[in-house]
Structure 1
Amino acid sequence: MTSPTPNVKNFDLNDDILDELEATLSADRLGTYLTATGGERAEAVRLYTWNTAVSAAFYGPLQALEIALRNAMNRELASVYGQTWYDSGKAGLDSGCLARVEQTKQGLRKDKYPDNAPHVIASLSFGFWVSLLGPGGYIDWKTKTKANYEMTLWRPALRRAFPHAASISRKNVHTPLNFLRTFRNRIAHHEPIFTRHLEKDYQNILEIAAWIAPHKRAWIEAHSRVPEILATPRDADNLKF
Structure 2
Amino acid sequence: MRDDVVPVKSAFTYTPGCVAALEASLSAERLGTYLRKSKGNREQAIRLHIWNTAVSAAFYGPLQCLEITLRNAMHARLSEAYGLTWYDDPSGILDHGTHTRIAGAREDLKRDGYPDDPPHVVAALPFGFWIMLLGAGGRMTAGGKANYEMTIWRKAGFRVFRHSRVTRKAAHKPLNYLRTLRNRIAHHEPIIDRHLAADYASIQQVMAWMAPDIGLWMDHHSRVAELLAFSPDSPDLTF
Where does 1:72-111 land on structure 2 (aligned, <5 Å)?
Answer: 72-90=73-91, 92-111=93-112
1:151 to 2:150 alignment? yes
Counterpart residue identity of residue 107, structure 1: D
Where does 1:1-241 land on structure 2 (aligned, <5 Å)?
Answer: 8-90=9-91, 92-140=93-141, 143=143, 145-165=144-164, 167-241=165-239
- CA gap of 1:209–1:163, structure 2 versus 1, over 3 A, is same
Distance across 2 between alignment mates of 1:13 and 1:23: 15
Name the SS for the 2:40 alignment partner: coil
Q: Which residues of structure 1 form unaligned runs of 5+?
A: 1-6
Deviation at 1:210, TM superposition (A): 1.1
- CA gap of 1:15–1:152, structure 2 versus 1, over 3 A, is same
Aligned to 2:5: none
Deviation at 1:66, TM superposition (A): 0.5
Does the 8 Å CA contact 1:85/1:91 hold for their aligned counterparts? no
Counterpart residue identity of residue 225, structure 1: R
Counterpart residue identity of residue 93, structure 2: G
Does the 8 Å CA contact 1:90/1:152 hold for their aligned counterparts? no
Name the SS for the 1:90 alignment partner: coil
Distance across 2 between alignment mates of 1:49 and 1:191: 12
Distance across 1 between alignment mates of 2:178 and 2:224: 15
Distance across 1 between alignment mates of 2:233 and 2:68: 34
Identity of aligned residues (%): 53
Distance across 2 between alignment mates of 1:91 and 1:182: 29
Deviation at 1:87, TM superposition (A): 1.0
Runs of 4+ aligned residues of structure 1 deviating over 6 Å after TM superposition are none
Name the SS for the 1:232 alignment partner: coil
Name the SS for the 1:119 alignment partner: helix
Distance across 2 between alignment mates of 1:50 and 1:9: 17
Distance across 2 between alignment mates of 1:208 and 1:40: 39
User: How many residues of Structure 1 are paired with residues of Structure 2 in the alignment?
Assistant: 232
Name the SS for the 2:175 alignment partner: helix
Aligned to 1:4: none
Deviation at 1:89, TM superposition (A): 3.8
Deviation at 1:91, TM superposition (A): 5.4
Name the SS for the 2:155 alignment partner: coil
Counterpart residue identity of residue 152, structure 2: L
Residues 91-124 of structure 1: per-residue CA shift (max 9 Å, x gap)? 5111111011011111111111111111101110
Deviation at 1:195, TM superposition (A): 1.0
Which deviates more from structure 2 when the two are superposed, residues 93-102 or residues 132-141? 132-141
